[in-house]
Amino acid sequence: MRILDQPVVIDGVRTAFGKAGEKGVFWKTRADDLAVAVAKALIQRNPKIKPNMIEDSIWGVTNQVKEQGGTLGRAVPMLAEWGWELPGCSIDRMCAGGLTAIGFGVGYIATGMADCLLTGGVEHMGHLPMGFMRDPHPRLQEVMGGPSAFNMGMTAENIHDRFPEFTREMADRYALLSQQKAHRAIQAGKMKQMIVPIEIEESDGSRVVIETDQQPRPDTNMKSLSGLKPAFRENGRVTAGNASGLNDGAAAVFLMSGKKAEVLGLEPKMRWVSSAVAAVDPTIMGTAPVPATLKALEKAGLAMDDLDIIEMNEAFAVQVLYCLDRLGLDADDPRVNIWGGSLAFGHPLAASGPRLVTFLMNLFKENGHARYGLTTMCVGRGQGYAMIWENMQTRDSAP
């Protein structure tokens, strides 16, 4: 591909992630309001960028109905009171909708179609649960390989079945590791640099500011994990402890061309290197980050050993274990999910991709000698998405 200009990340933010349902902190908050909050925060954090510089608003949204329907990407800038002149669109690649929004934005910039873009993802799984108002084709179950392809928890059970070397104990142990890493990061204040405070209404009508994730369980231990019942089938191995949560949240990323950033006097945080999407058997959809990552590495002319930081979405512990193993990594590889992952923080579908990018951006800042990083995730219906980035917050980066 001929690159006219190099796409770079200027900044990324997210909301805290709440639990889905009436006990969730965002139960009385709309999804579009969460998206507007992170969009406005990016402008506030980057005063050299004016709303009229943004050439498109590209948002990943999985369930595009009700408050998440009607082309949310177009609504966000108007609700932010930036005027009518800023266009927008919404993208659905299920869990990777937000990462795809960033990927599409990269393509815009690399081909010269735009110099400044707002990209992001949002999901309110409390108001709009998975599968809400869907009407799949009568033959879709057949062509996807069976009913388990519709149930992400069952696809994780299928990985356990087909690859029995990944046991329930291993999945629980990995989930515990994710919780421990997340707790250390939260205690050290790592989340404060990226979370946008949101004022919400509680059940009694009072107002409170939410700026901490609701999902993490710092008291998790192997005994508590091993005592949990299977969530998706009798005698199964996937539980609420080794699966990501159902969550509400939003995340957004400013993308820009390198030339535009230079003109504005902005310091890019990281540079796009390559992207890849891949597809696999939908009944084991969690395995797809492997071919996606290998394709992205090939496009970049890199190998796994060249990656200094790896952000892999943790839809299910067994899915991560499989992917790490097939990519030649240990489950406790110190490069992987340094601050924990979705098993701890939660997984509000399309918001998780921009969350991964925002984590990587901040991890690059803390690791000045790190050069290359990966953001990758599995996708319902049997897809995987991967993006490789280069750190620009270090003198080691190539000019």
Count CB-CB contacts under 10 A for residue 300. Answer: 20
Query: Is residue 323 among the annotated active site residues?
Result: no
Q: What is the pLDDT of residues 71-127, one digit of tens each?
A: 999 999 999 999 999 999 999 999 999 999 999 999 999 999 999 999 999 999 999
Q: Give me the pLDDT at residue 203, please.
A: 78
Per-residue pLDDT tens digits for 218-234: 999 999 999 999 999 99
| Domain annotation covers residue 187 | no
Task: Clarify whether 183 is annotated catalytic.
Answer: no
The answer to whether residue 199 sits within a structural domain is no
Q: Which of 212, 242, 243 is nearest to 18 (CA)?
A: 212
3-state secondary structure of 358: helix
Which of the residues 95, 116, 183, 323 is marked catalytic? 95
CATH of the domain at 293: 3.40.47.10
For the chain, residues with pLDDT lower than 50 are 396-399
In the set 124, 127, 160, 347, the catalytic residue is 347
Q: Which residues of 135-155 are buried (b: 16+ CB within 10 A; e: fewer)?
A: eeeeeeeeebeeebbbbbbbb
| 64 found inside a domain | yes
The parent domain of residue 363 ranges over: 7-126+245-389
95 is catalytic: yes
Q: Quote the mean pLDDT of the chain.
A: 96
Residue 139 included in any domain:
no
CB 373 within 8 A of CB 360: yes
The answer to whether residue 292 is domain-embedded is yes
Total count of domains within the chain:
1
Counting every residue, how long is the chain? Answer: 399
Q: Does some domain include residue 156? A: no
Distance, CA of 97 to CA of 381 (rounded, Å): 13
Q: Cα 189 vs. chain centroid, distance in angstroms?
A: 20
Position 3 scores a pLDDT of 65
Cβ atoms within 10 Å of 237's Cβ, excluding its own: 25
Beta strands in the chain, from DSSP E residues, in sequence order: 7-15, 18-19, 57-60, 88-91, 116-124, 195-196, 198-201, 207-210, 247-257, 270-279, 307-312, 372-379, 383-391
Q: What pTM did the predictor assign?
A: 0.97
- Cα torsion 379, 236, 214, 355 to 10°: value is -20
**3-state DSSP assignment of residue 290:** helix
What local confidence, expressed as pLDDT, does residue 399 receive?
38
80 found inside a domain: yes
Which percentage of the chain shows pLDDT scores above 90?
94
Residue 234 lies in a domain: no
